[in-house]
Amino acid sequence: MNNSWEKLIHELIGCGILKTPAVIRAMRMVPRYLFLSENDKAAAAVDTPLPIGSGQTVSAPLG
């Protein structure tokens, strides 16, 4: 797993955004970078919506 993604998960747990074990497990099992183009994968843990094609975006992790 990407270290920046795991760091983000820990931050979200610490600030009370991620609360349930099921959601935390889902975040770890299906990381955001899987939905991004190669050009955007490095930004997967950045708090901003990112394009996923066809004019759609994947939501910001914190937003």
User: Using only C-alpha atoms, what is the Rg of the chain?
Assistant: 12
Calculate the dihedral angle through the C-alpha atoms of 43, 54, 22, 7, rounding to the nearest 10 degrees: 0
Choice among 4, 37, 54, 59 that is catalytic: 59
Measure CA of the first residue to CA of the last residue in the chain; give whole Å: 22
Is 4 one of the annotated active-site residues of the chain? no
* Residues forming the active site: 59
